Chain A
Amino acid sequence: MTQFILNGNPVVSASPDDTPLLWVLRDELDLKGAKFGCGIAQCGACTVHLDGVPTRACVLPVSAASGRAVTTIEGLATDAGEALKAAWVSEQVPQCGYCQSGQIMAAAALLEANPAPTEGEIVEAMNGNLCRCMAYGRIKAAIQVAAGEGEAQR
């Protein structure tokens, strides 16, 4: 049994301690936004936030989330998160879309830590997230748009 906070609400998982968090989220708690891609923490499709830090759920044992806060794309409701989702539409980012939950979660963590990243900082932060359709240019542009909106509000 593992207890943690999921998108603001306390939850209990009955899965074995070593079950990767991804499958607890997807198959036990029925949140399908985080995706399975490589299984070795190299594609980023499974990215969620663990206490605000972008984390690969495919290799994180659920026990490691015990007592901590997990945020998935479904629960991403910060200003930066909303700005990113809107920018993903305005910049027409997704192609197949399969990696995009992970991309947005990685981008949201970046903007939380660094609200006005340079282009180089965006590339640095996002390089670990594979987009097989290679919509990289638009991902970068959308992050710049979302960051710009945050900037305008401040």
Chain B
Amino acid sequence: MKTLPTLDLSRRRFVAGAVGGSFVMGLGLALPGCSSKEATEALVSPKPDAKFAPSLWYEISGTGDTHIFITKAEMGQHVGTALARIVAEELGAEWSQVRITHVDSHPKWGAMVTGGSWSVHTSFKALSQAGAAGRQLLAAAGAAHLGVPAEACTVANGRVSAGGQSVSFGTLVSLGLPGAELSAEALDALPLKAPAERTLLGRPVAALDIPEKSRGEARYGLDATLPGMVYAVPLLPPTRYGSILTRLEDGDATTIPGFLQTLRIEDPSDTIQGWGLVIAESLPAAWKAAEQVRAEWTPGPTADVDEAALLAEGARLADDPAEGVRVVDHGGIDRVLAQAPRRLTAHYRTASALHFTLEPQNALAHFDETGHCHIHGGNQWQSLILPVLSKALGLQEADITLHQYALGGGYGRRLFGDQMIPAALAARALGRPVKLVFNRDQDSRFDCVRSPSVCRFDAALGPKGEVLGIDHGVAAGWPTLSMAPGFLAPGLNDSGRYDSFSISGADHWYSLPAHRVRAINNPLAQKTFLPGWLRAVGPGWIGWGVESFMDELAHAEGVDPLAFRLARLDGAGPNGGDGPANEGGALRLKAVLETVRERSGWGRALPKGSGLGVAVAHGQERGMPTWTACVAEVAVAEGAVSVKKLWQVIDVGTVIDPDGARAQAEGAMLWGLSLALHEGTAFEKGQVRDRNLDHYTPLRMKDVPELDIHFAESTAFPSGLGEPPLIAVAPAIGNAIFAATGQRVRDLPIRLS
């Protein structure tokens, strides 16, 4: 159902060979008929037509330094540290000699994407095997060097040892290692360490990216410079789509020192519609000049759309049981609803929300003397924007290189690199490097907004209020439809194609007698703005509805909401899991829920106006769930909600970097709190209303409650952490407000009136 960007495992091959003074090892895809010689050559000097595509690569130098190339974006998750630990664990490398490099977008790396909380999950097996393959090779060479059988050798801390003697990786590389190659079958047969044998995974480690970030030395896209570059600031149209720039004149901008010119952007990819640019020798000059140029537009067709219209359209569609692609459909819900003695219906809604990466979108573009296009900036999904740039510039993808930098916040915004397009078009038009920078207002206006959403629930209840079935319609703008339609998934019974990222979470792990989930695109949202993948994506808004409505159902039946959930997490049928990634299924969710019940003291008496609320989540997808249960304690006084404490118990499977995992959980939980109480905007006249911190108000230090975070001990296959701990926070808070006041809140952000 889901399309994770994993390797076609049957075509994997491991290749190793000497290059210069280093020994290089790679794992990648081999095309049919690819010879060993061709694969090794491709590893050393890849060509676009090579039959071997190494997607993972590391090398060991003659000094024993192990250099691991990271294709994932660093945006705060310390991903390079986690991925390098996995390789180093199986390789037996000396951790203090491990180095990482975040690579550019050279085609040799294959598909490049950092999102979906996928990085560890989708890389774990391949990285482990690549490390183990290297260990086997070094063990064989070390054994020969020491004159002992390979079975007698141990490999650890960058040395091959046997019977009191040892040799370092560096020495073995200096002496010359033979090339090697392993098939997919041989890779699968490699012995991997049992969890108890591990010396790095799950142990404390200092993140490799933190020292430079603690001295102001990390380099972000906005910090990139090139000799001779000029600055560009956009003149943005009144709507994302369909506005026509009818007038663009320099006006009094010519009086601004440093002003160079205006430029109209014509984008053959049609991504950038109706933009002008102001070009100047400095950013302040460009901004000043932008206030003086005369720019006018014929607005696009959505110039009058507001938030209420978007939500009304979502509700209209969600209310119609005929609407939507069927994602879950069992138990004959229409019949169950028609025959039910009682029904309970509710709408849950979320308002537009912004990524608000603290580093605004920017790009530095440059064409070299061969006509190759270089773009400097931070990006999460190189493989998504390269084809768009290719179309916009009329270049082959291989003639465009994206140079990666640290990301000053990603959260899904930098999955799309739309700002690269006008920068590159301008660089070509002007014949010099162009650095394009959004100001904050523009970054918000042309964010890939988290779509306003509507969840509509219609539950059939039995005579005692017991749940007989639920129909759930979810309407929102779909990021995948606009940006990556190839990733749309087929629904049940030819009911159409849908954005799985905008419905995940509705396909939950509770056993219900009848259940239907309808994934509905909101076409008005789709044409008004570019819907984005915002941290936690669909589960971020769907979990709000599902877990709040579960509370309503528990109260309808007169059952404790935590006990109500436990009773339905029985792991029956498909809810028992169907593979290593979701092994154990709902029973693991039940276990974290039981643990959070104990840690939070669920059921204890609280003062009037205070309450506890519970929610669970299983982001990001059924195919790779991270099991979380959250309890919130809130106090409500005079309409103001104060979150006193949040508990969360997390089962992510194997934890790679314990402190990094905790940091991701801390950040994600506070994001959940921020989206619940502090953030949110609205469309007004076709654009988002709140564009800077004077009106858009993410959580600050004074708003941080006490956090109790507990990771379940597990050796199960690792899942992901960047997003899942966000999901259950808002519904736990909403349910706590109900417990404290009896008032049910159904809109995010929560506003008590």
Contacts and interface: CB of A to CB of B under 8 A. Distances in A.
Interface of A: 15-16, 19-20, 23, 26-28, 30, 32-40, 42-43, 45, 72-74, 85, 88-89, 92-101, 104, 123, 126-140
Contact of B222 (A36, A39, A43, A74): A36
Contact of A98 (B209, B358, B659, B698): B358
A95 B214 contact: no
B440 interface: yes
23 contacts: A36-B222, A36-B359, A37-B358, A37-B359, A37-B360, A38-B692, A85-B214, A89-B206, A92-B206, A92-B207, A92-B210, A93-B210, A94-B213, A96-B409, A97-B76, A97-B209, A97-B408, A127-B701, A130-B700, A132-B409, A134-B671, A134-B698, A135-B667
Contacts of A89: 206, 210-211, 214
B406 A96 contact: yes
B297 to A, nearest CB: 24
Given A95-B76, A130-B693, A132-B357, A123 B702 contact: yes
A134 B666 contact: yes
Given A19-B284, A140-B701, 16 more contacts: A15-B282, A26-B223, A38-B692, A40-B693, A42-B694, A73-B216, A88-B214, A94-B209, A95-B78, A95-B667, A96-B75, A96-B408, A96-B410, A97-B213, A132-B356, A137-B707
B439 interface: yes
A96 to B, nearest CB: 4
Contacts of A20: 284
Contacts of A15: 282, 284
A37 B440 contact: yes
Contacts of A96: 75-76, 358-359, 406-410
Contact of B408 (A30, A98, A123, A134): A98
A39 B287 CA distance: 12
A89 to B, nearest CB: 5
Contacts of B659: 92
A73 B411 CA distance: 26
Interface in B216-231: 216-220, 222-223, 225
Task: Give the dominant DSSP class at A's interface.
Answer: loop
Chain A to chain B: the 8 pairs with minimum beta-carbon distance, closest first: A33-B216, A97-B213, A95-B76, A98-B408, A73-B216, A96-B76, A88-B214, A134-B670
Contact of B666 (A35, A45, A137): A137
A99 B360 CA distance: 12
A20 to B, nearest CB: 6
A34 to B, nearest CB: 8
Contacts of B408: 35, 96-98
A73 to B, nearest CB: 3
B50 interface: no
B239 interface: no
Contacts of A138: 663, 666
B141 to A, nearest CB: 37
Among B210, B283, B660, max chain A CB count under 10 A is at: B210
A72 B216 CA distance: 9
Contact of B283 (A27, A43, A73, A93): A27
B704 interface: yes
A19 B285 CA distance: 8
B693 A97 contact: no
A27 B281 CA distance: 10
B451 interface: no
Nearest to B223: A32
A92 B354 CA distance: 27
Given A36-B222, A89-B210, A93-B210, A136 B704 contact: yes
A139 B667 contact: no
Given A36-B222, A37-B358, A37-B359, A93 B214 contact: yes
A125 to B, nearest CB: 9
B210 A136 contact: no
A117 B605 CA distance: 35
A16 B257 contact: yes
Contacts of A35: 220, 222, 358-359, 408
A74 B700 contact: no
B210 A39 contact: no
Among A72, A93, A130, max chain B CB count under 10 A is at: A130
Interface in B370-402: none
A74 B217 CA distance: 8
A134 B669 CA distance: 9
Contacts of B284: 15-16, 19-20, 23
Contact of A135 (B216, B357, B666): B666
B702 A127 contact: yes
Contacts of B700: 127-128, 130, 136
A100 B674 contact: no
Contacts of A99: 358
Interface string B190-221: 00000000000000001101111111111110
Contact of B358 (A88, A126, A127, A132): A132
Contacts of A37: 358-360, 440
Given A38-B440, A95-B76, A133 B693 contact: no
A32 B408 CA distance: 13
Interface string B554-583: 000000000000000000000000000000
B77 interface: yes
Nearest to A120: B702
Contacts of B218: 97
Nearest to B660: A92
Nearest to A41: B693
Contact of B406 (A19, A97, A133, A135): A97
Contact of B217 (A33, A36, A42, A137): A33
A1 B660 CA distance: 47
Contact of A74 (B216, B699, B704): B216
Nearest to A98: B408
Contact of A40 (B220, B407, B692, B704): B692
Nearest to B224: A32
Contacts of A85: 214-215
A131 B699 CA distance: 9
B698 A132 contact: yes
B697 to A, nearest CB: 9
Contacts of A92: 206-207, 210, 659-660, 663
Given A19-B284, A92-B210, A94-B213, A123 B359 contact: no
Contacts of B209: 94, 97
